[in-house]
Structure 1
């Protein structure tokens, strides 16, 4: 009987999740041939066919499906152990994974993270910029700084400030709507999903939406190029210098900006250092984020 190595199972899981060798290789950060070699070696060593090799991709065999279920259980156990080990780590060095949005990173956090690095040069930051809510409970990230209506289950955190929203457009485009009600006549740029976009989408007809995006950044660029009106965080709309706020009454005008982590990680030295630093460093940004433009 051959002992199963966790490293081998990671390749099996990647192919099962991605459906192809090339996609699995990208997710693992290795080349195509490495995935194929590790997968072939696993099947040969254990005398087990894990996948059907189809023209459309890799599909699990019945035996492979059973193996996958067991591998997922092992993966969850390993990640739970990693959480607990990291949560007890007291050194101010090593990797710290932070997720936030591209706009917050560019306009707010970039300058603060540079100072954080100067203060803690042995902490290596891994930054993931996405509007998607990463699964902190499965170690996709250690700390998240992002808008949220409430704190997700199993996470702890601190509410940094209010994040204000408004409708913005290029001045020339707004002038072209003169004498017309923007909700009825304008073209609109909105997010694919999220509480903010759902509020504005309820007020306008679907045919008026000319662009959807998974981030506010492309909406801002489109608004600057007179494609339509965009519902944006005020710190973005006011900061561009090319957009003008439109006076429209909307129920959803703000949400909360949170900094959060998993309960198991709250006492980790790197996490505590970032929490304490960001809370203090961002105080000067609170009015701007809340839409107060002195």
Structure 2
């Protein structure tokens, strides 16, 4: 009996995702390949690893044992990768960065271009995601996140505060019906912070548009759908929008760079974190809502 690391990865992916389709997508293979490989593993082991049902794939005791072994192997492989990365002498190789979609499109790309000019041997792999990735398993090397409580198991560097305020189209503010309509992130965004704010400020009956992310809020406000909250560095930079009132401290957060403690001294990780800290420093007034000119 010979089992490869990819066999363990497949079994763990099926268990984690409850079926072949999602596991195959996660591993970058097609469904039929995943099915053949699972059948081959079970034949090699002479054991059934999953009970199949309409609701999904449920691991048998043998399957659970293989999943547990895969977890231990995954941890060891990730630890080895961090150790090797930490011994690199010059900034080179792949650096995987995860950041929210809006942050990547509104700010990060010019900074990445400057970083690449300084470190041309580093290949950047950007994962745009609102969800936290597992930095312990090397899903990403560095995370850029807005958070008031970054995970305690990660090494972090606070780059800036992020101020929020209410914005509206300056040419629509005399329209009373427009000023009563809101666009907002949904209740599952940022632990429900935006939904709680709107309940206290306006009530759910005034929501004109709800989105499942921060991305798209500016465009919705610019389109005239309603007023809404925006990070000040985005809202203040839009010439057709006007800040309506003071900063909203209940929505404020901090901008963090996060990495696994084992990677904090890796040359390319340290180079990126130092670069980003220097690049963001002059932008802090904009992030913290202190650089705005009030538009009339």
Please tell me the TM-score bracket, short chain as reference.
Answer: 0.7 to 0.9
* Distance of 2:123 and 2:174 partners within structure 1: 48
Of 188-197 and 41-50, the range deviating more from structure 2: 188-197
* Distance of 2:23 and 2:40 partners within structure 1: 16
Specify whether residues 255 and 107 from structure 1 end up closer, same or farther in structure 2 by C-alpha distance, changes over 3 A only: same
* Distance of 1:114 and 1:279 partners within structure 2: 15
1:96 equivalenced with 2:104 (yes/no): no
- Equivalent residues of 2:181, 2:208 under 8 A apart: no
SS at match of 2:47: coil
* Distance of 1:17 and 1:253 partners within structure 2: 34
1:128 CA drift (Å)? 1.3
1:248 CA drift (Å)? 5.3
- Equivalent residues of 2:164, 2:251 under 8 A apart: yes
1:44 CA drift (Å)? 1.1
1:234 equivalenced with 2:232 (yes/no): yes
Unaligned runs of 5+ in 2: none
Match of 1:108 in 2: 107
Of 232-241 and 195-204, the range deviating more from structure 2: 195-204
Match of 2:265 in 1: 267
5 Å-filtered alignment, 1:13-52, equals 13-52=12-51
Q: RMSD value over aligned CA atoms? A: 2.5
* Distance of 1:122 and 1:37 partners within structure 2: 39
Specify whether residues 221 and 132 from structure 1 end up closer, same or farther in structure 2 by C-alpha distance, changes over 3 A only: same
* Distance of 1:29 and 1:138 partners within structure 2: 18
* Distance of 1:277 and 1:45 partners within structure 2: 50
SS at match of 2:159: strand
5 Å-filtered alignment, 1:213-228, equals 213-228=211-226
Of 52-61 and 227-236, the range deviating more from structure 2: 52-61
1:7 CA drift (Å)? 1.4
SS at match of 1:167: strand
Specify whether residues 251 and 288 from structure 1 end up closer, same or farther in structure 2 by C-alpha distance, changes over 3 A only: closer
1:219 CA drift (Å)? 1.9
Match of 1:158 in 2: 157
- Equivalent residues of 1:199, 1:252 under 8 A apart: no
